[in-house]
Amino acid sequence: MKKYIENVKRYGTCSKDCYGSCVFMGEWNDQAPEKKLLSAKPLKNHPLTNGFFCPKFNHREELLYHPDRLKSALVRSGPKGSNSFKTISLDSALNLISEKLTTVEEKFEPSSIVAAFYAGNSGLISQFSPIRFFGKLGATITTGGICNEAGNHALSQIFGNYSTTNPFQINNPNNKLIVIWGSNLSERNNHAYFLVKKAIKNGSFVVEVNPVKTKLAENATLHLQPFPGSDYLIAKYVMNKILAAEKYDRDFLVQHVDNYKKIFTGVEKIDENKIIHHTGLTCESLDAFIKLLFKYQHKTLFIVGFGPQKYFYGGKNLITIALIQVLLGNFGKPGTGFIFSQSGFSKEFTYSLMNYITLPHLYPPSNNIPLVTLGSSLNSNKFKMLFVYNLNAASSLPNQTILRKSLSREDLYLVVLDMFLNETTKFADIVIPAKFDLESNDFITPYFTPGISINQGGPCPYSDCLSNFEFFQLLAKKYGWEDNKLFQETQEEIFEKCIELLPTEVQQSLKLNGYYIPFRINDVLYEDLNFPTFNGKIQIQSSDLELFDPNLDFLLHRRQNEFYLLSPAHKYFIHSQMGEIHKEFENVFGKIFLNPYDIELIKLKPNEEVLVSNKYSEAKFILDQNNTLKPGTALIFSGLPFVNAEYENVNFFTPEKPEESELSGAYFSVTVKISKI
């Protein structure tokens, strides 16, 4: 008689570098020879997931067993840059890597070995457990990131935490106005878009501030379409008018803001003509915005995207936007606040997990290099070996000319862990087939929903595919560290140990629901206006207001025939990863988009091949029109996720110089010239 085997249900969280961190229930047939994940159903009762995935990733079961998925280790068989490999056994690959490690360590410093990683899989164990290996080795580790780190850092300086607001306040009945600044919610944050549409239905008004007219503008009361990077000038104009009309919240400022008078001094004098010229806005539209802010004071919420901080002075740009809410006293009241990233709320309970996952007390502090400047750091002959995981560096890091030159060095041995071949594997000496996020136990700390959620890993049908931890554990054994306690546990044991480190309430919620949110949907955070700074007050430093100094010019300037270059991700793709399920949109990466007005102005035609150039690079693109763009602005989609693509990556045009905190990239601080070929 045929034995009946029940399918297994496991909680999962999408670990992609995305606002959603969607939580779902996976149904698995563990006995199936290959297609073990049968379905993934987004949770209806999760307050952000709300029962749906985004179009980028609604077929993850297809991707898991995609024919192009890497299933064996590969060794390079052609020149660097060619993605030519032959298959080898996992054991041979580990031997080769271990031998190379020994040679490099003997001939050079251990610090000449580099680990570069990011949030391609944002699982805490996936991202950070390899630090056990590199810490013991004394290797160099990348720090910071490429995304929101500058903004987090800047907001922490003034509020003591970059997270200050419960995102579910979007739907608080007290809210009457939502300002969505620099965030294309309908394409990049579908779940917040869903909440905002619900708020609109319930009577909230929306103002959008964005150089691109997004889908949200259809439902917005007002759309301000400034030139990229001019956010702080808008903020200055708005604050000047708040001051002039004496609409600031004096009690809030006196009681809860240190040095608030510095804001007054910074904005009391403005050059209106300059602001109008550089923002590309009209006084009428700015005044209409201000009127709404006055009307709905103490009923206004700001949602700010990562775009405004992707400039050389990005952190300050973000602070100046936040200061509008500070002046108006829009904190600690229902339906108000400032939403940027909520992961700051999780730090309290993830601290012990991170400590356990990385065990930093067992080895001396490591050498660091900023991730964003990886290209020029590797240019130095000091570095001889590079491991890349959870990152498609040759697609998503800026200034690809420098980076690829470095990755092409014959004396730099590159090991890449990934699920598919991509732009980075092109330069690899060894490629290790990686497990998908759902195939390992892990924790995710989302950045739009506060809290933590889990992946209960299901089985992987391919025996050579490894999680990052499993790979470095095997490598440690090859390297002679088989008895070291850093590498004794399995990933499941690390996961279980971490669960035990969490407060009981969190443990229970993770087991029962798959996720934990540290407060209730209706809670107003910092209601007592006691912020986590040294004295409980919002801190204003003179340096926060440097952008207001009339003698300093932080603006990005463009010359004739030049355009500000925006490089957002496409709505069907996660940055630089997993293009395999949306191949039909591949051609979009070969295009540069302009407003039809600009196309006419520079006397070119849509579908014409043009030369795009700036001081970093030049390449051919197909010109196309997009009337959602502000004239003067060009757009090339970022994150080319395909292997051997025919198109040039937009990051050949972006600057390696990071945001001033050196914590993340200044991708939008750039202009390009477009000319006829």
- List residues binding ligand SF4 (CB under 6 A): 14, 16, 18, 20-22, 53-54, 56-57, 190, 574
Ordered DSSP codes for 12-50: EE--SSSS---EEEEEE-TTSSS--EEEEEE-SSSTTTT
Cβ neighbors of 396 (< 8 A, separation 6 or more) are 118, 146, 575, 576, 638, 639, 651
Nearer to ligand SF4, 299 or 575 (CB): 575
Residue placing its CB nearer to ligand SF4 in the complex, 54 or 650: 54
Nearer residue to ligand SF4 within complex by CB, 38 or 581: 581
**CA distance readout (Å), 160 to 182, 533, 544, 559, 661:** 23, 5, 14, 40, 17
Please state the closest distance from residue 145 (CB atom) to ligand SF4, in A.
17
User: Which secondary structure element, helix H or strand E, spans residue 416, and what is its range?
Assistant: strand 413-418
3-state secondary structure 454-507: EECCCCCCCCCCECHHHHHHHHHHHCCCCCCHHHCCCHHHHHHHHHHHCCHHHH
**CB-side exposure of 574: number of CA atoms within 13 Å?**
25
Closest C-alpha to 673, from 628, 630, 616: 616
Cβ closest to ligand SF4, residue 20 vs residue 457 = 20
Burial level of 30, CB count in 10 A (0-12/13-18/19+)?
Answer: middle
- With respect to ligand SF4, which residue has the nearer C-beta, 49 or 400? 49
Q: What minimum distance in Å lies between the beta carbon of 426 and ligand SF4?
A: 25
Q: Are strands 222-224 and 205-209 parallel, antiparallel or unpaired?
A: parallel
Q: How far is the CB of 630 from ligand SF4 (least distance, A)?
A: 27
Look up residue 34 and give its two tokens. Answer: 């290959």
Q: How far is the CB of 455 from ligand SF4 (least distance, A)?
A: 12
Please identify, using beta-carbon distances, which residue of 16 and 223 lies nearer to ligand SF4.
16
d(CA 339, CA 162): 9
CB 493 → ligand SF4: shortest distance, Å? 27
Please state the closest distance from residue 588 (CB atom) to ligand SF4, in A.
Answer: 18
Residue placing its CB nearer to ligand SF4 in the complex, 65 or 264: 65
Q: Which residues contact 490 (CB under 8 A, 6 or more apart)?
A: none
203 φ, ψ (degrees, to nearest 5): 110, 0
Separation between Cα atoms, residue 177 and residue 206, nearest integer Å: 6
Side chain identity at 470, as an amino acid letter? E
CB 20, min distance to ligand SF4, A:
3
Residue count of the chain = 677
Q: What's the min distance (Å) between Cβ of 189 and ligand SF4?
A: 8
> Measured from the CB of residue 10, what is the shortest distance to ligand SF4 in angstroms?
16
Nearer to ligand SF4, 437 or 624 (CB): 437
Among residues 176 and 191, whose Cβ is nearest to ligand SF4?
191
Nearest distance in Å: CB 640, ligand SF4: 17
Q: Choose between 237 and 637: whose C-beta lies nearer to ligand SF4.
A: 637
CA 518 vs CA 45, 189, 452: distances in Å: 16, 21, 9
- Lookup: tokens for 17: 């570098």
Minimum distance between the CB of residue 222 and ligand SF4, rounded to whole angstroms? 27
Q: At 594, is the secondary structure helix, strand, or coil?
A: strand
Q: Which two tokens stand for residue 524?
A: 């107003």
User: Is the CB of 14 or the CB of 460 nearer to ligand SF4?
Assistant: 14
Q: In the chain, helix, strand, coil percent, each to 5? A: 40, 20, 45
Closer residue to ligand SF4 (CB): 60 or 673: 60
- Of the pair 36, 56, the CB lying nearest ligand SF4 is at 56
Least distance (Å) between residue 224 CB and ligand SF4: 27
Taking a C-beta distance cutoff of 8 angstroms, is the pair 636, 650 a contact?
yes
Q: CB neighbours of 194 closer than 8 A, spacing ≥ 6?
A: 50, 52
CB 340 within 8 A of CB 113: no
**What is the rounded CA–CA span in Å between residue 606 and residue 623?**
5
- Is residue 73 a contact partner of residue 89, using CB atoms and an 8 Å limit? yes
CB of 305 to ligand SF4, least distance (A): 15
* Residue 485 CB burial class (10 angstroms; 0-12, 13-18, ≥19): exposed
Question: What is the smallest separation between the CB atom of 22 and ligand SF4, expressed in angstroms?
Answer: 3
Minimum CB separation of residue 534 from ligand SF4 in Å reads 36
Select 54 or 328, whichever has its Cβ closest to ligand SF4. 54
Q: 187-202 burial by CB neighbour count: b if 16+ within 10 A, else e?
A: bbbbbbbbbbeebbee
18 versus 275: smaller Cβ distance to ligand SF4? 18
The answer to whether the Cα torsion of 611, 613, 618, 619 is positive or negative is negative
Residue whose CB is less far from ligand SF4, 22 or 154: 22
Please give the Cα distance from 383 to 436 (Å, whole number).
29
Least distance from ligand SF4 to the Cβ atom of residue 487, Å: 31
**Spatial CB neighbours of 627, under 8 Å, sequence gap ≥ 6:** 213, 595, 596
Buried b (16+ CB within 10 A) or exposed e, 241-277: bbbeeebbbeebbeebbbbbebbeebbeebeeeebbe
Indicate the residue among 11 and 616 with the shorter CB distance to ligand SF4. Answer: 11
CB under 8 Å to 363, separation ≥6 — which residues? 135, 136, 138
CB of 185 to ligand SF4, least distance (A): 11
- φ/ψ of residue 88, rounded to 5: -135, 165
